[in-house]
Chains A and B, each alone.
Chain A
Amino acid sequence: MSRNTDADHSHLPVELTVNGRAVAARPGQTILELVREQRLDTIPTLCHEPGHPPFGSCFLCVVEVKDARGLLPSCTTRVRDGMEVATRSDRITRARKTALALLLSDHYADCACPGQLACPAGVDVQGYLGLARLGHYREALRLIRERNPLPVVCGRVCVRKCEAACRRNLVDESVGINQVKRFVSGHAGVHPERLSPTGKRVAVVGGGPAGLTCAYYLSLQGHSVTIHEAMPRLGGMLRYGIPAYRLPREELDADIDMILGLGVEVACNRRLGREFTLRGLREEGFDAIFLAPGAPLGKKLGMPGEDARGIESALDFLRDTELHGPRQLHGKVVVVGGGNSAVDAARTAVRCGAEEVTILYRRSRKEMPAFHEEVDAAEQEGVRLTMLVAPVEAIPDAATGRLAGIRCVRMELGEPDRSGRRRPLPVAGSEFEVPCSFAYSAVGQETDPDLFSREPVDGRPAVGPPGTIEADAATMACRLPGVFAGGDAVNGPAAVIDAVAHGRLAAEAIGGYLRTGEVKRPDPAFVCRRDDFGPVPETEYEDAKRIPHHATPQRPAGERRNDFREVEEGLSEEETREEAARCMECGCKALYTCDLRRYAVEYGVDVGGAAGHVRRHKADDSHPLIAYDANKCILCGRCVRACEDVLDQPVLGFVGRGFDTTVMPAMGRTLAESACNGCGTCVECCPTGALTAKLPHGRQGPWRATRVPSACGFCSLACPLDLHVVTDGLLWAASPVDALGRKGDLCARGRFGTGLLQSGNRIRTPMVRKNGELAQASWEEALREAGRLLTECRRRQGAGAIAVLAADRMTREERHLVGRFAREGLGAGFVGSFGAMRRGGPRRDLDDFLGRTASTCLLEDLDDADGIVVIGADPGTTHPVLGTRIRRAARRGAAVVVVHSSEIDLVRASTLSLNPRRGTSGILLADVLRRILAAGAVDGRWTGSGESEREAIRDLLEGAAKAGVVRACGVDSGKAEALARAVAGGKKVVAVYDLEETGERSSGDLAVLSRILAATGHLVPPAGGLLLLGSDGNAEPAGPAVGGEADLPDALSAGRVRGAVVMLEDPLSDPEGEALLGGLETLVVADCFWTRTARAARVVLPASTLAETDGTLVRFDGTLCPVKKACIPPGGRTTAGMIRDLAVEIGCEIPSALPDAIREDLFRAPAISPDDAGKVLLPRTLDIRKIRLSGKAGLPVRRSYATMNEAVRSRLAGREIRGAF
């Protein structure tokens, strides 16, 4: 904001070199701007807010400038002739890394939820819990499948490392993540898209979870995959190791079928090392091989007598049960081991009729690796647990040679071993015998030792210690080129999810290998974790609400021990959504947008690099729309500056000094207690997740979203915005961003309201009144009923008896269709907006003067005006973005004059403010016009019909002014003179007047205002203009008037209207509307929300919001603003489609779309062009004598009857947000 009058920069380009390349820059440009604009490189920065003056605090954007003392921040260094700039060097990288490491050393934050980080496959737990909570099950399933193609299986048998890591454990109990997954996995129908075929072939050896997963992701990449499976069917241990009562086979097959549905080929009964060899696969033309043969062999107990009949491995027992059906057992059964296989074998034995089943385990129950729920379930089914016992010898029956019993020894626990568990030691002399007929050993698994026996020595993959295949942990690549391995064969026996993780890693690496011939390790994932700064204390969750966990329902033990049907039952939809809602959303909302994280990945920064003291703040959750977590704040100050830009006085500021400096509202207030008006600009500036928008959906994601450019419909400004769409009904709005990163303005309604429209009180299906009650109906049924009612009404009462009321807020296209439907279809007598009618109908004040009552310049004309007169308007409140624009103009030096009866917020930015009494501004303006005429400085074009006319008007004004401005308006005459001088003296003066500010309106005000502008030559660009604000998206003067409002009240009160079609308006919520329309026989309502009017209707048709339709809005200055359909309306049909269908129903064919030519016609055309300027003549009709104290006080409150606005207003207001909407 330099007031240096010597600011005349040379306009010759500056010549310099960047990275050795000669470039020409604009004088005064910073290096960062230059590099970005000309795309010379990408320079990282966290504190720079494009479009704002340089700040220079993060020091990430440093570059080298030849002969400079050190590195220079490119965001603040301006270009100079002959400068030699380098944007990359080791020194620069080091400095940037240090800066990032320092910032991260004080960043007490979780990037992702601990559950996701604990999941070997990295499934986006928080993301799918959120989607499930909101009922988007298919989306949730799609998200799970991005990382795990076996959701049905894992929903039943997963080890649930996520739940163990869940932060909810610090509050009460973990979220039942797996239960949610199980529920979601039952919703089929999401088929991932497969890339086009690559022609590459991959052989997957082993059809267990690792092999299936790898096959799935390879297929998605377009490779053709063949699974070679040793067993008759796919599934590996899932099928042959896990009993059906835990994993019903039809469920397993659901996952497998989904994978095979991608075109994966399967060759069963082919065992590596027997039916085929690796070399053979190569010869068959496979380009890569993934080995996932598993560890299917049970370990021996290694004790005497083990060969006796009746002893076998638990794995064999389970596999046999699967292959040949349950066998009949008798007598006592002993299972040795403490893992899941032992419990599975024991519970299977129960189901096979064993008299008594005992599990022998050498440690105590606490150490058992099996799921504790499974152990409990086994006990309920009658399985006995004998702990601290180890078998030492099998005792065969002397006569038959069959097993008769097992000699055991008691154990005691000694010191902890490497696994952390206490080592069992035999107790001398404690041997005893356990009689039994069958014994199953479940003490470990091994890979098949003969897998590679037929391969040449140099064609065998390296095999590690306990017979496992060696593979790189990041790529699963073996030492043999093109051969990868995963699953239990690499890990040793592990969980399903570990195998899934291997399969996916391998698929990624194989994909890369097939594309490039090289195996590349994936970039190390960067994750910031609160745990990195020490254990997260439970006290942080003191305030968290305790919510009971839904336990997994199980069938009764007495029933389930007799069959193999599934033991565990899933949660209901209701329970699932409740369980998903228990998620505390610990992961960062900005996961996908965080710049700090992006740069940390790019520069490979180690989180612990500069560890030290970390600040721990309590997050500020007070504000209804914005969440602030100071822990994630990096003090870049972008929010402070953006807030200052919007409000002039920032809500957020730097508080404290040194390391403890914090960005927060002044005086220790919370955001809710501050003057924040909820515009959310700060949220979009925040480069991390410190400031985040509270999405109106109840769940915050984070989710990846698609951007759809559109426009806001909440006021006549129609600001451009971007819709961020996750899926139908789940979206939010944000400012549009240009190529250089500069953001557009939005206010709270635009930014937060657009999302609100998608949720809440929506009308989702057509409804028809039956027996006095509204009941759901099909579209066909509802349309037929509506058509019948309207036709009937028309037949009985005549065409003129039906009124069509439609909100101005609808798109131009929709309004056009409404007009044609009404006139051509219904022959309706009254078509118009109830809201506009209640506000006094369209203004005609300027029709005789300008031909129409419309803005004469564009919004953009404010940006270079040196004088702005705001009169009868409070844009800071009603059109906040316009308020911001005017404040910005004031900061760059424009003189802002405010004329308003109260102290509106723009007064602070004004150079002159006048407070005429309410309803007297017309008198004040007449006085100003008189002064201007008296001063004689009158624009030549306004001479119109000559000096005599001017004199006449001057005389009239003299008379009018007799009332005395001071007495009538309470305005000091000096101020009136100052206003006259301000208007007359400016080079470009734009006046802003609000057509809907009924409280401020006074007779003649707008008419005189326009004459003042005309007299001073400021009526049209380039010297100025008049901006007329409206409340709705489509300014009346610009759009084709649907017409006829003026007659409507009369028609209604005369009882001529007998039926009505009401679209997106709620007249019945207004007493006058209720009186006029309350008793109508025929009422068809189309709306998005359950309004009073909708509830009273005979037929209700769901309408679409602006995010669900294509079309255009007309800005208050006539500019056309396109809106884009970002998702499908919940009712399935757009409003336009619905109108068309309704028209067809009553036998009228109206076209489906408007010719583009009409849009072209009106696009960005101000109502009055400069060419018309000369034709603007002195009016004959302006009767100055009519300017008097207005007796007609307007409505005290601005009220929109358009229900979208109402819905949002009430919901935002319900959140007790300060500031007006």
Chain B
Amino acid sequence: MQAVRVGLGSCGIAAGGLAVQRRFQELLGPGDAGVTLQETGCIGLCHREVLVEIVEDGRRRTLYGEMAPDRVDRIVTDHLRGGRVVGEWVVDREGLLAGQRRIVLRNCGEIAPSSIEEYRARGGYRALSQAVTAMTPAEVIEVVADSGLRGRGGAGFPTGTKWRLAQAAKAERKFIICNADEGDPGAFMDRSVLESDPHSVLEGMAIAGYAIGAGEGIVYVRAEYPLAIRRLREAVASAREMGLLGPDLLDSGFSFSIRLKEGAGAFVCGEETALIASIEGRRGMPRVRPPFPTEAGLWGFPTCINNVETFANVPWILAHGAGAFRSCGTGNSRGTKVFALAGKIRRGGLVEVPMGTTIDEVVYGIGGGTVSGRPYKAVQMGGPSGGCIPASLGGTPIDYEQITATGAIMGSGGMVVMDDSTCMVDVARFFLHFTQNESCGKCTFCRIGTKRMLEILERICAGGGKPEDVNMLAELGEQIRMSSLCGLGQTAPNPVLTTLRYFHDEYEAHIRDKKCPAKVCLALVEFGIDPDKCTGCGLCVRACDAGAISGRSKEAHRIDGSRCVRCGKCLTVCRFDAVRKG
């Protein structure tokens, strides 16, 4: 018996997974009766997509990376039919996953996401069954509290405490909301889990519902995640069919239904009160807390909101016990954390590491260092709400308190690696641009203050920085942090404040010397042509609207710096890598 598993998460599909799957379908004929073609989710090795795994007799597993339709033929002939492993395409699965601890991602890439049977085969829904049949709600909460699980959405509020508050609230209706409005640019942990293992989230929600006494669950998921939505719908339907969701589930007397609510992609709707407003059909705008949602949330009823990763942890904790979870991690941060590793990293993708792992271990150990091989300069953690941690603090263990102490935040799991070709002022500008655009416009400081900060950063990047700008940024940033209603505004200045703190010299270089050390800010860059590489093809001359490039055909060209407007077009059109920034 052979099973061919094609990785068909969004990453696999984007890399061409569907074409690979089609090729297998074309090639596998009646003679391949013992071969089944399956689809699975994302295992996290995004840099090697498309991934295809051949499982023989349910035991022997071979993982192939960078699959393409034209490679499928050889896999079929050599491996499936000939029994010969195609060694050069094999991915060292164990090696690449070394250093990881997979709790949340336990099923990702391992099972067919649309198969509830496979999920159950790996112990799925046993935790729910155990909870509703053998435990009181208080006992469930006790286990979760004991495990030390904290909200994985970013703020790290102890999950057990939140559940306890929601349970204590007396009301005729209560709600569980799964926050799947993953909005940080570059983050895709939640999407991956929903696409690859939707049942773990549903099970977690049902357990939470039992614990706090809620009968209704809502998954608030981005409409931009069509695959996740499809898999969730399938999962809800099959779970209901099997009596794992719905009225009197597992004959326990406990009823729990789950529905989906698609969000239209407003970043601020990741904030819980804005999210609630959005579900209620109003503009996604945060409101004052208290009352907290656990007291008065959706439609005014007590509501417990956790994010995807938090819920995915819950069944594991119940199944393995609080102690098993506690044993992983450090200090007040227990369990694991999933990161979307991106940026100038060699092996980008989804990783799950035990709390306490250092940043260096993630970047060098798991991520394999930077693409260029040069040392990394900083990691950006926590998305637009987070900050940049310099390489000098690479020994910082991943732990809510210690990350916060650097000025960044744990966040939901975005980790962008930067090297010396990244301009930190530009990074700050990028993230601030994002938050400014996504501000709901309610609070003065967030709406206008971030705009003014952004204008200053744009000015600095454009070479118009003034010496007092740095102080103005710091001052405004501090005020915005203090004077905003929700997390979006309170954390919006973080990318600026952390880069100001750790990369002050880069700001100085921009402002005082009118230089961008990373050569990213085009206005501060001198363009030149390497006479050795230039072939005199004239492409750049034609591209230059400013008429700054001259030179005879087939001879090295020159750029007249006084006429150059630094648009960078020559850089884009040159086929010989002859245009340089200096």
Q: Which of B463-500 contact A (CB under 8 A)?
A: 476, 479, 481-485
Q: Give the residues from 269 to 304 in chain B that come closer than 8 angstroms, CB to CB, to chain A.
A: 283, 285, 287-288, 290-291, 295-296, 299-302
Chain A 57-101 interface residues, beta-carbon cutoff 8 Å to B: 57-60, 62, 69-71, 73, 76, 78, 95, 98-99
> Is B27 an interface residue when CB atoms closer than 8 A count as contact?
no
User: Is B291 a contact partner of A661 (Cβ separation < 8 A)?
Assistant: no
Q: Which residue of A lies closest to B481 (CB)?
A: A70
Q: A70-B482, A71-B483, A659-B439 are in contact. Are A5 and B447 (CB under 8 A)?
A: no
Do A613 and B451 touch across chains, with their CB atoms under 8 A apart?
Answer: yes
For A, the interface residue count at a CB cutoff of 8 angstroms equals 41
- Complex contact B438–A5 (CB within 8 A): no
> Which of B266, B448, B455 is close to A657, meaning CB atoms less than 8 Å apart?
B266
Complex contact B288–A3 (CB within 8 A): no
Chain B 138-162: CB-based contact to A (< 8 A → 1; otherwise 0) = 0000000000000000000000000
B438 touches A102 (CB 8 A): no
Q: Are A661 and B440 in touch, CB under 8 angstroms?
A: yes
- Among A56, A62, A657, the residue within 8 A (CB) of B438 is A657
- A76 to B273 CA separation, bound complex (whole angstroms): 15
Among B171, B302, B483, the residue within 8 A (CB) of A59 is B483
Contacting B at CB under 8 A, from A1-18, are: 1-6
CB of B504 within 8 Å of the partner chain: no
Indicate which residue in B437, B448, B476, B481 contacts A103 across the interface (CB closer than 8 Å): B448
8 Å CB interface, B434-461 against A: 436-445, 447-452, 455
- Known A70-B482, A102-B444; judge A2-B451 contact (CB<8 A): no
B288 touches A2 (CB 8 A): no
Please measure, in the bound complex, the distance between the C-alpha atom of A95 and the C-alpha atom of B449, giving whole angstroms: 12
Chain B positions within 8 Å of A657 at CB level: 266, 268, 437-441
User: Within 8 Å CB of A57, what residues of B?
Assistant: 442-444, 485
Given known pairs A103-B448, A654-B285, the reply for A4 and B302 (CB within 8 Å) is yes
Could you tell me if A659 and B451 are in contact, using CB atoms closer than 8 angstroms?
Answer: yes
Max chain B CB contacts within 10 Å: which of A70, A637, A659?
A659
Segment 647-674 of A: residues with Cβ below 8 Å from B = 653-654, 656-661
A5 and B436: CB pair below 8 A? no
A55 within 8 A of B: yes
Contact A653/B452 with A71-B483, A95-B483 known, Cβ cut-off 8 Å: no
Q: Verify B302–A658 contact, CB threshold 8 A.
A: no
A105 at interface by CB-CB < 8 Å: yes
Q: Tell yes or no: B169 within 8 A of A by CB.
A: yes
Choose from B439, B448, B483 the contact partner of A105 (Cβ within 8 Å): B448
Query: With A76-B288, A654-B440, A657-B438 known to touch, is A99 a contact of B169 (CB < 8 Å)?
Result: no
A4 interface neighbour in B169, B438, B440, B483, Cβ under 8 Å:
B169
Q: Are B444 and A78 in contact (CB under 8 A)?
A: no
Q: Which B residues are in CB contact (< 8 Å) with A95?
A: 479, 482-483
Q: In the docked arrangement, what's the CA distance between A59 and B440, Å?
A: 15
Q: Which residues of B contact A637 (CB under 8 A)?
A: 442
A135 within 8 A of B: no
Q: Is the CB of A59 within 8 A of B444?
A: yes
Nearest-neighbour CB distance to chain A for B293, whole angstroms, equals 11
A661 touches B439 (CB 8 A): yes
Query: B residues within 8 A CB of A58?
Result: 443-444
Rounded to whole angstroms, the CA-CA distance of A6 and B301 in the bound complex is 11
Contacting residues of chain A (626-647) with chain B, CB-CB under 8 angstroms: 634-635, 637
B481 cross-chain contacts in A, Cβ below 8 A: 70
Checking A3, A69, A612, A661 against B452 with a beta-carbon cut-off of 8 angstroms, the contacting residue is A612
Specify which of A5, A54, A99, A661 is in contact with B172 (CB 8 Å cutoff). Answer: A5
Nearest chain-A residue to B483 (Cβ)?
Answer: A59
Which residues between 118 and 174 of chain B lie within 8 Å of chain A, taking CB atoms? 169-173
Partner of B442, one of A103, A613, A654: A654
Q: Complex Cα distance A634/B299, Å?
A: 29
Q: Is A23 an interface residue (CB 8 A)?
A: no
Residue of B439, B445, B448, B479 near A106 (CB, 8 A) is: B448
Within the complex, what minimum Cβ distance (angstroms) separates B398 from chain A? 24
Most buried by B among A55, A59, A99: A59
How long is the Cα–Cα vector from A56 to B266 in the complex, in angstroms?
21
A612 to B436, CA, bound (A): 14
Contact A99 B444 (CB under 8 A): yes
Q: Quote the shortest CB–CB distance from A73 to chain B (angstroms).
A: 8
Q: Is the CB of B290 within 8 A of A654?
A: no
Partner of A2, one of B300, B440, B476: B300
How far, in whole Å, are A654 and B285 apart by their CA atoms in the complex? 9
Q: Given A103-B444, A612-B451, A659-B448 in contact, is the A6-B438 Cβ separation under 8 Å?
A: no
- A328 to nearest B CB, angstroms? 70
Q: Give the docked Cα–Cα distance between A71 and B479 (Å).
A: 9
CB-based contact B439/A658 at 8 Å? yes
Decide if B441 touches A656 in the complex (CB within 8 Å).
yes
Q: Does A1176 contact B (CB under 8 A)?
A: no
* In contact, A4 and B448 (Cβ under 8 angstroms): no
- Given A102-B449, A635-B447, A659-B436, decide whether A71 and B441 contact each other with a Cβ distance below 8 A: no
A3 touches B301 (CB 8 A): yes
Which residues of A have CB within 8 Å of B172? 3, 5
- When distances are taken between beta carbons in the complex, the residues of chain A under 8 Å from B452 are 102, 105, 610, 612
The interface centre, meaning the residue of B170, B437, B447 with most chain A CB atoms within 10 A of its CB, is B447
Closest to A666 in B: B283
Q: Which residues of A contact B300 (CB under 8 A)?
A: 1-4
- Inter-subunit contact B485/A56 (CB<8 Å): yes
| A658–B451 CB distance below 8 A | yes
- In the complex, residue of chain A having the shortest beta-carbon distance to the beta carbon of B472: A610
Select from chain B the residue with minimum beta-carbon distance to A104: B448
Q: Which residues of B contact A99 (CB under 8 A)?
A: 444-445, 483
Q: Encode contact with B along A594-627: 1 for CB under 8 Å, 0 otherwise.
A: 0000000000000000101100000000000000
The B168-209 residues at the A interface (CB cut-off 8 A) are: 169-173
Compute how far the CA of A653 lies from the CA of B291 in the bound complex, rounded to whole angstroms. 23
Q: Do the beta carbons of A54 and B445 come within 8 Å of each other?
A: no
Complex Cα distance A727/B479, Å? 46
Residue of A nearest to B476 (CB): A98
CA–CA, A3 to B172, complex, Å?
A: 9
Q: Looking at the assembled complex, report how far the CB atom of A221 sits from the nearest CB atom of chain B, in whole angstroms.
A: 41
Q: Is the CB of A102 within 8 A of B266?
A: no
Cα distance, A847 to B143, chains bound together (Å): 71
Tell me whether B455 and A613 are in contact (CB under 8 A).
Answer: yes
Rounded to whole angstroms, the CA-CA distance of A71 and B482 in the bound complex is 6
Determine whether the beta carbon of B482 is less than 8 Å from that of A4.
no
Interface string of A34-53 (1 = CB under 8 A from B): 00000000000000000000
Chain A, residue nearest B295 (CB): A4
Nearest CB on A from B166, distance (A): 11
CA distance A613 to B452 in the complex (A): 8
**B residues in contact with A654, CB < 8 Å:** 283, 285, 440-442
Residues on B with C-beta less than 8 A from A62 are 483
Q: Determine the residue in chain A with the shortest Cβ distance to B285.
A: A654
Distance in angstroms between the alpha carbons of A54 and B451 in the assembled complex: 25
Do A4 and B441 have beta carbons less than 8 Å apart?
Answer: no
Inter-chain contact A3/B299, CB cutoff 8 Å? yes
Expressed in whole angstroms, the Cα–Cα distance for A1014 and B147 within the complex equals 62
Q: A59-B483, A95-B483, A659-B439 are in contact. Are A612 and B455 (CB under 8 A)?
A: yes
Nearest-neighbour CB distance to chain A for B137, whole angstroms, equals 17
Known: A70-B482, A612-B452, A659-B451. A2 touches B295 (CB 8 A): yes
Query: Could you list 16 examples of A-B contacts with CB < 8 Å?
Result: A1-B296, A6-B169, A57-B442, A76-B288, A95-B482, A99-B444, A99-B445, A99-B483, A102-B452, A106-B448, A654-B441, A657-B439, A657-B440, A658-B436, A661-B440, A661-B441
With A58-B444, A59-B483, A98-B445 already in contact, 9 other A-B pairs whose C-beta atoms are closer than 8 Å = A5-B171, A57-B444, A59-B445, A70-B481, A99-B445, A103-B448, A635-B441, A657-B440, A661-B440
Closest 8 CB pairs of A and B: A661-B441, A70-B482, A3-B300, A2-B296, A659-B451, A76-B288, A102-B448, A59-B483
Contacts from A to B (Cβ < 8 Å): 1-6, 54-60, 62, 69-71, 73, 76, 78, 95, 98-99, 102-103, 105-106, 610, 612-613, 634-635, 637, 653-654, 656-661
